[in-house]
Amino acid sequence: MNGSGAMNGALDGAVVAVAGAAGPAGRAALLGLAEAGATVVGADADATRLAEAVDAARYAHGGATVIGDTVDLLDLAATRAWADKTEKEFGRIDGLVHLVGGWRGSASFAETDLADWDLLEKLLIRTVQYTSLAFHEGLLRSDRGRYVLVSAAGAAKPTAGNAAYSAAKAAAEAWTLALGDAFRKAGGEEGPRAAAAILVIKALVHDAMRAERPNAKFAGFTDVTDLAEAIVGVWDRPAREVNGNRLWLTPEP
């Protein structure tokens, strides 16, 4: 993958943290950011899968600095400690990419299980709250700070069986837009130096999914490598252009 960030050096020397780095999207993001010139610090609660993801990115891009930290992102103090440690170790923090995911749904609205909400509220909202609060000050100190949330089109157009998931995604978007407003206000008349942006997809697909379901079309799905390229691209654009905006990778409903 040759993201445009790799060509113009928008991420050269940058330090970017990736929350939820052990999944397929996280693996693609670690590699894409490293290829674009960033030092990448991935965090996940699953130490084994995180180590595998970090090793894969290192081997795929020789010379890249990719490290992994096992962090409980449902612990605000631990999340703040991770942000502080990262900035102290590398002297700066230029980005937080939020890839903590999860999905639960039901056959109909009436069959919604509120236990699904309890789980999704933690995974999709609480981790956004904690990472944004933990990294906010560091991103403001950067000359190219970016907070990147990956959201779903369902947040704007919920379906009956996805009430909990869509509501959680909508709340995460609102929280991120509030962060963007904080960046706007901090920038004053010169405009924001940091930006909070939302990348909106329908759903993600990766090679293992295709192997499991060779006849599936996955229509409208975004490949994790394309998502990684779009993440890198957030740094290619001025903060004023992406801050507080939804950047659609799927047709807007």
Residue 3 has pLDDT above 50, yes or no: no
Q: Read off the pLDDT of residues 14-42 as tens digits, 9 standing for 90 and up.
A: 999 999 999 999 999 999 999 999 999 99
What's the pLDDT score for residue 11? 96
Q: Read off the pLDDT of residues 173-204 as tens digits, 9 standing for 90 and up.
A: 999 999 999 999 999 999 999 999 999 999 99
Residue 64 has pLDDT above 90, yes or no: no
In order of 4, 12, 156, 187, 252, the CA distances from 8 in angstroms are 7, 9, 34, 25, 29
Average pLDDT, the chain: 94
Pairing of strands 95-98, 146-152: parallel
Note the pTM of the prediction, 2 decimals. Answer: 0.95
Lowest mean pLDDT among 5-9, 121-125, 138-142, 209-213: 5-9
What's the pLDDT score for residue 171? 98
What's the pLDDT score for residue 1? 37
What's the pLDDT score for residue 61? 76
* Tokens 């670690």 -> residue: 30
What's the pLDDT score for residue 5? 35
Residue 8 has pLDDT above 80, yes or no: no
CA-CA-CA-CA torsion sign (60, 63, 65, 67): positive
On whether the CB atoms of residues 234 and 247 are closer than 8 A, the answer is yes
What's the pLDDT score for residue 59? 87
Return d(Cα 97, Cα 87) in angstroms, integer: 15
On whether the CB atoms of residues 200 and 246 are closer than 8 A, the answer is yes
Residue 235: pLDDT band by 50, 70, 90 thresholds? very high
Q: Read off the pLDDT of residues 155-173 as tens digits, 9 standing for 90 and up.
A: 999 999 999 999 999 999 9
Return d(Cα 63, Cα 50) in angstroms, integer: 19
